[in-house]
Structure 1
Amino acid sequence: MNEPILTTASGIPVDDNQNSLSAGPRGPLLLQDFHLIEKLQRFNRERIPERVVHAKGSGAFGTFTVTEDITALTKAKLFSEIGKKTETFLRFSTVGGERGSADTERDPRGFAMRFYTEEGNWDLVGNNTPVFFIKDAIKFPDFIHTQKRDPQSNLKSPNMMFDFWSKAPESLHQVTILFSERGTPDGYRHMHGFGSHTYSMVNAAGERVYVKWHIKTRQGVKNLSADEAGRLAGSDPDYAQRDLFNAIAAGNFPQWDVKLQVATEQQLVDWEARTGWNPFDVTKVWPHGDFPLRLVGVFELNRNPDNYHADVEQVAFSPANAVPGLGYSPDKMLQGRLFGYHDAALYRVGTNHQHLPVNAARCPVYNQQRDGEMVVGNGGAARNYATVVAAGLPDSGMGNGEPPLALSGPAGRYDGRGKEDDFTQAGNLFRLMTASEKLSLCNNLAGPLSQVDADILQRQLGHFDKADPAYGAGVRAALAARGANVA
C-alpha cells in the first residue's frame, strides 16, 4: 500500500524529509527551511510538562578547576589561568524513558553540564557516548518516536526501533554501543561523558580550532549486565539517582577529568581526504591516534540541590549557550539542537526560564527582553529597546570576536546516504571488544531482534555483516539460540 504524500501541517507537500536545507553539503542550515523548523517546533510541544526526551534525570552542583593551560586555544575567561574554579551544575538522565521509568534501562545517558562563568552560562550538552544515531536534525523527531510508544498499543516496539535503524545504517555505530555493556551503566558516577559533536574554540588572536570534549570518570567505568539491570529496574528503579545523591551527601564527591581533542581546519581537511569521514558527522569519532586527548581540568560534584523540582526539573540547557572563545561547527545535528533546546525550554518552563536561579547567569545581564509569564525584575525602569548605532562600524565576523566562517556551495538538500561509510567505525568498535563483550553485545541485540518482522531483521543483519562478518555471525548465533529463524 502506497503511503500518502507527506505535507506540512498547512498541507504543503514535502519533497525531501531526509535532508535539511544547508549552505553547501556541509551546512550550516538555513532558517528558511520551514519544514525542519516546523518539525522541531511541533516535536518540542508534544508533552506537558515533562521533557520529551531526557525526562528521568538527576543532578547536582559542583566546581570545575582548570589544571592545564589552554589559553593558546581559547580566550574564554573560565580557562584563563591554572587553578581557576567555576561553579557548575550537571544533570544526568536517561533519554527515551518517561519521568517514572527505571534508571537502569538500556538507553543512552544524558550528560549535560552548565558552567556559570563570568561571561555568562556555557552549556556543554552531551551524552555518555561519543556518537549519536543520526547525523541530521530533520530525522530527530522521527527517531525519538520510534524509541517511545506505539500509537496504537502504547507499548515499546522493537519493530519500530529496528525499522528505523535498519533503514538508517548511520545509526550502527551508536546501536553497537547501546547494546554493548555500556548500554546499561552502573549508576551515573561510573560513566564517561562526551560533548559528542564537534565544537570550536577561538583564541585572542581570532584563530579557530575545532574540538571534541571528553569527560572521563575518575571513579572507574562500571556497567551492569542485562540481567542485573533488569533486576534493579524492578527492585530499585531509582538506583542511579539514589547512588549519586547518597554519595554526595556522604562527602564522597565524584570527579571527572575534562579532556579535549583538538584539530585545525587544515588537519581535518587532510584527515577527511585520507579516511573519507566527515569530521563534523556526529555518527563518527575522531580516533585518538590521529587526535590525542589533552587534559584541561577536573570537574567535581559536591552539593545536592535543596529542591529537586526547582533545580533538576527546571534546569534548561542549550548548546547555543556558548561564551566568547567557544563556538559551534557545521555539524547538522548540532545546528538543529542550537534551535531546538532553547525552543523546548520556552515551551516547557516558560518565556522567562532564564530568570530561575538554576538557569540565571552569575554575571550581570542586560537586554531589552520584557514581559511574559513569571517574569522576575522585568528590567526595572530601563528602556525596552536598543538604540540604533550609526553606520561605519567594522565588520564583526560572527560576533564575540569569532572570525567569519567560510561557506561554499549552493543551498539545497544534500543526500549523502549510500555515499558515506557508515560501517567501518562500528566494525572497529566491535573488533576492540573482548570475546565476552562481543557475546554480551550479540545476546543483547538478539532479544529485541527476535521480535521484529523478517524483512527488518534481514536488513539489520546485513548492516552487522558489513561492519564485520563476525558481528553478523554472532548475532545470528544468538538469535538461533532463542529459536529465531534467521534464514
Structure 2
Amino acid sequence: MMKKKLTTSAGAPVTNNQRSQTAGKRGPVLMQDYKLFEKLAHQNRERIPERVVHAKGWGAMGTFTVTKDISKYTRAKLFSEVGKQTPILSRFSTVAGEMGAADTERDVRGFSLKFYTEEGNWDLVGNNTPVFFLRDGYKFPDFIHTQKRHPKTNLRSPEAMWDYWSLSPESLHQVTILMSDRGIPISPMHMNGYGSHTFSFWNNDGERFWVKFHFKTQQGHKHYTNEETAEVIGQTREKYQEELYGAIEQGKFPKWTMKVQIMPEADAEKTPYNPFDLTKVWPHADYPLIEVGEIELNQNPENYWQYIENAAYSPSNVVPGIGFSPDKVLQARIFSYADAHRYRLGTHYEALPANMPLNEVNHYHKDGAMRFFTNDFGNPDAYYEPNTKDGAFEDQSVEEPPMKINGDIMRYEENDTFGDYKQPGDLFRMFNAEQKARLYSNIAAAMDGVSMDIIERQLVHFDKADQEYGDGVRKALGISQMADY
C-alpha cells in the first residue's frame, strides 16, 4: 500500500517537515517559509471559545427505537410506528466546570440528544434532574455567574452560590437533588435524563398535549460520595470520558428507556401548581409515565472534536408534532442556545457534520463567514422568497395549532399557594436515614467558609420544607440554636 504524502492545506507537497528554512546553516529563518507560517498559524487557531456552561462534555452516537405507539398524541414521524429507528447524537456534561475541569465534581449534568429525523433535527436539551434552580430565564445569567469564578479571586465561590440560593427559595428543590446522593453519578450511563421543561405534542387532528420527557437508565443508579469522588479526581480528571468511551468500545452499549408524561391541554388551567414552572415536577399519580422507546449508544465518533465539541443543541430545533409551552426558561433558551452556537461555531454551524440534518435543507440565508457550501441550493435564480423561479416555498400543511392557554396562567405567579417548599419537602421525606445523613453532610461541606448570615437564611428554607431537614443540616454544621426570625 502506497504511503500518503504530506501536503500543505492548499495541496502542495511538503518536502521537509522537520525544520524551518534558514539563510545558511546558522542564519535566521526566512520569511518565505510559508509551510512554517501555515503550521504555526493553524496551531494558534485550534481553539474556539468553550461553552459558557456545559463546557466539559462527553458524547457518542446511537439509535432511538420506538417500542410503544404514541401516535394519538403526536404527528412527529419519528414516533410513527413501533420498531422505527432514528439515529441520534448524545452529549452529556457538567454545568459549572470549564473544559479542563474534573468531571466527577458535584454538579448537575447536561443530558442532550439530537434526533436526525426525516423532518429535520429534533434536539432535546435537558439535564439529569427533572427540575432546575429557577423558573424565569431572566435570572439565568446571574445564577450562572454564581457558579463560575469570582472576578477578583478567580476561584469558585461557595459564598456566592449560597447567597444566591438563600435569596431564591425556588432553587430549594434542585439544591436538594444536587446535595443528595444523585449529585455525583459515577458515569453518564448511571444517571437518568430529563427534558425538564414542559414541551408539547400535537397530533394530526390539531389537538395539543403538554408533555414531560424522561430517560430512565437501564444500567441502574450508581453514585459517588464526596470522599470517593475526591479519590477519583486524584487519579483522573477524565473518568466519565473513560467510562463512556470504554464501555462502547467493549460492546457494552448503554441504554435508556424513553418515557413521557402527558397532560391534556386544558388541565394546565386546573392544576394546583404551575405545570410550566421548571422548579416543579408533575406527580406521577396524576400523570403516569408512558413508555415510548429505547435509546442505545453504540458508536464512538472517529473524531471527537468534529462530532462532540461541534455538536450544537438548541430547544429551537423541533419537528412537526413537537412544540413548546409557556415555560419562561424554555422560551429564553429557544433564543439563547442557538445564539450561543452562532457566536461559538459561526453563522452556518448547522451545516457542520454533527449538526447537519439528514433530510434536504433549503433556505435563503445568505453568504457570511464560512459559507463553505453552495449559496443557491442548485438554483441561482431563487435567492429570495416569494419567487417565480421554482425556489423553495412554505409548507402550511405542518402549521402548528395555536396554544389555547390564556392569560389566566399568570394566576400561578400572582397567587402561588402551592409554594416552593412542598415538593422539596416531599422529596426529602422519601429519603431513608442514611440518605438524609449524607444530604446533611454534603450540604455542610458545601457551606464551608460561607458567611453565617447566609447560612441562617438558607436554614430557614430547609425548615420550611421539613423541620427535620433544617435540624439535620444544623447538626452537621455544629449549630445548636435556630436563629430568631
Q: Same fold (TM over 0.5)?
A: yes
Q: Distance in 1 between matches of 2:387 and 2:453?
A: 62
The one-letter amino acid of 1:108's match is V
Q: Distance in 1 between matches of 2:407 and 2:423?
A: 28
1:269 offset after TM fit, Å? 2.5
Residue 473 of structure 2 corresponds to which residue in structure 1? 475
Q: In the TM superposition, what whole-angstrom CA distance separates every residue of 1:232-252 from its partner, at most 9, and x where no partner exists?
A: 122111001100000001111
Q: Distance in 2 between matches of 1:170 and 1:123?
A: 27
Q: Distance in 1 between matches of 2:252 and 2:195?
A: 25
Instruction: From 305, 328, 332, give the equivalent of 2:328.
Output: 332
1:113 aligns with 2:109: no
Q: Distance in 1 between matches of 2:477 and 2:149?
A: 24
**Unmatched tracts of structure 2, length 5 or more:** 1-46, 389-394
Q: Contact 1:195 / 1:213 at 8 angstroms: preserved in 2?
A: yes
Kindly tell me: are residues 412 and 219 of structure 1, through their superposed partners in 2, closer, same or farther at Cα, counting changes over 3 Å? closer
Kindly tell me: are residues 387 and 374 of structure 1, through their superposed partners in 2, closer, same or farther at Cα, counting changes over 3 Å? same
Q: Distance in 2 between matches of 1:375 and 1:304?
A: 28
Kindly tell me: are residues 415 and 81 of structure 1, through their superposed partners in 2, closer, same or farther at Cα, counting changes over 3 Å? closer
Residue 431 of structure 2 corresponds to which residue in structure 1? 433
1:197 offset after TM fit, Å? 0.3
Q: Which has the larger radius of gyration?
A: 2
Residue 461 of structure 1 corresponds to which residue in structure 2? 459
Residue 87 of structure 1 corresponds to which residue in structure 2? 87
Residue 383 of structure 2 corresponds to which residue in structure 1? 384
Q: Distance in 1 between matches of 2:480 and 2:300?
A: 48
Residue 405 of structure 1 corresponds to which residue in structure 2? 403
1:188 offset after TM fit, Å? 0.5
Residue 346 of structure 1 corresponds to which residue in structure 2? 342
Residue 239 of structure 1 corresponds to which residue in structure 2? 239
1:448 offset after TM fit, Å? 2.3
1:366 aligns with 2:362: yes
Q: Distance in 1 between matches of 2:365 and 2:411?
A: 35
Further displaced range: 222-231 or 401-410: 401-410
Tell me the TM-score normalised to structure 2 length.
0.85
Q: Contact 2:48 / 2:345 at 8 angstroms: preserved in 1?
A: no
Q: Distance in 1 between matches of 2:228 and 2:281?
A: 30
1:421 aligns with 2:419: yes
Q: Highest relative contact order (Cα 8 Å, sep 6+), 1 or 2?
A: 1
Kindly tell me: are residues 325 and 338 of structure 1, through their superposed partners in 2, closer, same or farther at Cα, counting changes over 3 Å? same
Q: In the TM superposition, what whole-angstrom CA distance separates every residue of 1:446-473 from its partner, at most 9, and x where no partner exists?
A: 0122321121111100000000000000
1:139 aligns with 2:139: yes
Aligned-partner SS, 2:436: helix
Q: Contact 1:105 / 1:229 at 8 angstroms: preserved in 2?
A: yes
Count of matched residue pairs: 429
1:61 aligns with 2:61: yes
The one-letter amino acid of 1:216's match is K
Q: Distance in 1 between matches of 2:65 and 2:73?
A: 17
1:226 offset after TM fit, Å? 1.0
Q: Distance in 2 between matches of 1:208 and 1:452?
A: 47
Q: Distance in 2 between matches of 1:425 and 1:91?
A: 29
The one-letter amino acid of 1:405's match is M
The one-letter amino acid of 1:432's match is M
Aligned-partner SS, 1:189: helix
